[in-house]
């Protein structure tokens, strides 16, 4: 047993009858070296643009609390890298050391996302962003070269425009051999009615594009390109330093829930925008926010549909009001002021019934074309996957029959190694296994969580994804099984 009372990660892995796939680990780019390698492949614009993006945290931490409050800048993280645990710090910085330690960590295969690269999609200048993204992807591919049997890095896919996304998708898959894309969402767009005259006005007077609903662009060509190239869009987007997460003094306040909020926004748009209806074979993942929000969103969507689908809205049409009955009830039970006001309005208690906001279709769910309960499985439970950190107890909710239609949601084990919330890289697998030990999920659920769901996310989209990897045989057997059936009542 470990000092924390668990079996070690290696011990737990040795007792499992299936591999463990880490759906979201991180490595930490060392800025001085990484930027110079970027300069060699992408020039000064790439290197300097990268360093400028990294400097934003330094600049915010250099301000006083009063200055952050005046400018409404959120308190960023400080002391956010391992120090006392020097081995883990080195492991996060050096992909080859991480590769050597995977058995100790308890993972057979890992998808590795960037750390500094998480900020890159926020670069506002188009030319700089494209240069930084391209160079970052090239340098990352070089770092992970020859490690592909046990790790694969995520390439950054900027989503500011469909053309930009498609160009990078084509490049990273055909030239770099990338199999995973880290897609941007919630890009800030300037509010057209506001004249931004200074940097703070420009930063704050924005709206956030969720790609599939009310966007300035049609992103269907991007989804089509993903299908063509065998890429499952995975979103690792942030919503920190936005809106309600702008505390100038408390990082934890700003940090808690921000990945979940970003995933909530884009998944809701993809669903209501009909993307999963138009692209039924595409799989999407929303990382590092857990699955609790997704279970709640599933319930919220079904309940809203029951009350706001086109047929249900007919019951709320103001023109169906029996004004004579309302007036008689008011005269019997209401006060004189109510009666007088209703008579002055010819019996109408509401505003003009034609005031519907000018939308062409009153049914907010029209793009989903829902006609039966199975549609909810096909449009939400089946295509969406959710990255869950190991110590999140709401992971059990994904496997509960209390979800709408008794559905299981596709939770995927995501260690988050490399970041401050993992004190020791050997802890995530034992922490995840606690749910089995405490009878909150079954061993079959744990197999889905740590293996099968990841296989279906990436292997369904790209049947060759796991070829040549340490989990190739097990993944092929899983994909050859009948598709995962979602339980229904």
- Quick check: is 402 in a domain? yes
- Quick check: is 174 in a domain? yes
Give me the domain span that covers residue 399: 9-307+383-480
pTM of model > 0.85: yes
- Quick check: is 325 in a domain? no
pLDDT value of residue 489: 31
What CATH number is attached to the domain comprising 293? 3.20.20.140
Tens place of pLDDT per residue across the chain (489 aa): 344 566 899 999 999 999 999 999 999 999 999 999 999 999 999 999 999 999 999 999 999 999 999 999 999 999 999 999 999 999 999 999 999 999 999 999 999 999 999 999 989 999 999 999 999 999 999 999 999 999 999 999 999 999 999 999 999 999 999 999 999 999 888 888 887 677 888 778 889 999 999 999 999 999 999 999 999 999 999 898 888 999 999 999 999 999 999 999 999 999 999 999 999 999 999 999 999 999 999 999 999 999 998 889 889 888 899 999 999 999 999 999 999 999 999 889 887 778 888 988 999 999 999 988 889 999 999 999 999 999 999 999 999 999 999 999 999 999 999 999 999 999 999 999 999 999 999 999 999 999 999 999 999 999 999 999 999 999 999 999 855 444 333
- Quick check: is 234 in a domain? yes
pLDDT value of residue 4: 54
SS3 for the chain is CCCCCCCCHHHHHHHCCCCCEEEEEECCCCHHHHHHHHHHHHHHHHHHHHHHHHHHHHHHHHCCHHHHHHHCCCCCCCCCCCCCCHHHHHHHHCHHHHHHHHHHHCCCEEEEECCHHHCHHHCCCHHHHHHHHHHHHHHHHHHCCCCCCCEEEEEEECCCCHHHHHHHHHHHHHCCCCCEEEECCCEEEECCCCCCCCHHHHHHCEEEECCCCCCCCCCHHHHHHHHHHCCCEEECCCCCCCCCCCCCCCHHHHHCCHHHHHHHHHHHHHHHCCHHHHCCCCCEEECCCCCHHHHHHHHHHHHHHHHHCHHHHHHHCHHHCCHHHHHHHHHHHCCHHHHHHHHHCCCCCCCCCCCCCCCCCCCCCHHHCCCCHHHHHHHHHCCEEEEEECCCHHHHHHHCCCCHHHCCCEEEEECCCCCCCCCCCCCHHHHHHHHHHCCCCCHHHHHHHHHHHHHHHHHHHCCCCCCCCCCHHHHHHHHHCCCCCCCCC
pLDDT value of residue 5: 62
pLDDT value of residue 203: 79
- Quick check: is 349 in a domain? no
- Quick check: is 371 in a domain? no
- Quick check: is 374 in a domain? no
- Quick check: is 225 in a domain? yes
Number of domains comprising the chain: 1
């Amino acid at each position: 047993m470990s000092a924390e009372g668990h079996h070690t990660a290696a011990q737990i892995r040795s007792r499992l009858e299936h591999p463990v796939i880490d759906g979201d680990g991180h490595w930490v780019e060392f800025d001085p070296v990484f930027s110079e390698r970027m300069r060699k492949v992408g020039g000064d614009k790439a290197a300097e643009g990268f360093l400028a993006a990294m400097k934003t945290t330094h600049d915010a931490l250099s301000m006083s609390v009063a200055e952050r409050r005046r400018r409404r800048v959120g308190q960023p993280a400080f002391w956010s890298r391992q120090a006392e645990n020097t081995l883990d710090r080195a492991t996060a910085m050096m992909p080859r050391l991480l590769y050597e330690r995977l058995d100790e960590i308890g993972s057979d295969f890992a998808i590795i996302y960037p750390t500094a690269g998480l900020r890159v999609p926020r670069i506002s200048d188009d030319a700089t962003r494209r240069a930084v993204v391209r160079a970052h992807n090239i340098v990352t591919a070089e770092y992970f070269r020859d490690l592909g049997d046990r790790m694969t890095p995520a390439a950054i896919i900027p989503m500011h425009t469909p053309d930009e996304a498609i160009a990078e998708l084509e490049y990273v898959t055909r030239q770099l051999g990338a199999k995973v894309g880290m897609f941007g969402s919630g890009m800030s767009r300037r509010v057209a009615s506001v004249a931004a005259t200074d940097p703070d006005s420009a930063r704050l007077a924005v709206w956030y594009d969720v790609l599939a609903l009310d966007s300035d662009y049609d992103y269907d060509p991007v989804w089509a390109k993903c299908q063509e190239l065998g890429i499952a869009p995975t979103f690792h987007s942030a919503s920190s330093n936005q809106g309600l997460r702008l505390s100038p003094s408390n990082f934890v306040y700003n940090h808690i829930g921000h990945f979940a909020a970003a995933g909530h926004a884009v998944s809701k748009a993809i669903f209501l925008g009909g993307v999963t209806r138009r692209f039924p074979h595409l799989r999407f993942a929303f990382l590092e926010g857990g699955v609790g929000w997704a279970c709640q969103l599933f319930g919220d969507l079904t309940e809203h549909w029951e009350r706001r689908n086109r047929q249900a809205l007919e019951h709320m049409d103001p023109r169906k009001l029996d004004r004579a009955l309302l007036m008689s009830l008011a005269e019997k039970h209401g006060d004189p002021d109510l009666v007088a006001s209703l008579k002055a309005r010819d019996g109408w208690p509401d505003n003009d019934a034609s005031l519907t906001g000018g939308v062409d279709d009153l049914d907010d769910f029209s793009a989903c074309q829902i006609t039966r309960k199975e549609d909810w499985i096909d449009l939400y439970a089946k295509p969406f996957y959710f990255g869950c950190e190991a110590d999140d107890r709401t992971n059990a909710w994904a496997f509960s029959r209390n979800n709408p239609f008794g559905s299981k949601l596709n939770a995927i084990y995501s260690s988050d190694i490399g970041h401050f919330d993992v004190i020791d890289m050997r802890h995530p697998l034992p922490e995840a296994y606690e749910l089995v030990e405490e009878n909150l999920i079954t061993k079959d659920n744990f197999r889905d969580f740590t293996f099968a769901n990841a296989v279906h996310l990436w292997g369904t989209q790209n049947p060759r994804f796991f070829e040549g990897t340490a989990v190739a045989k097990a993944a092929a057997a899983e994909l050859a099984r009948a598709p995962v059936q979602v339980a229904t009542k």
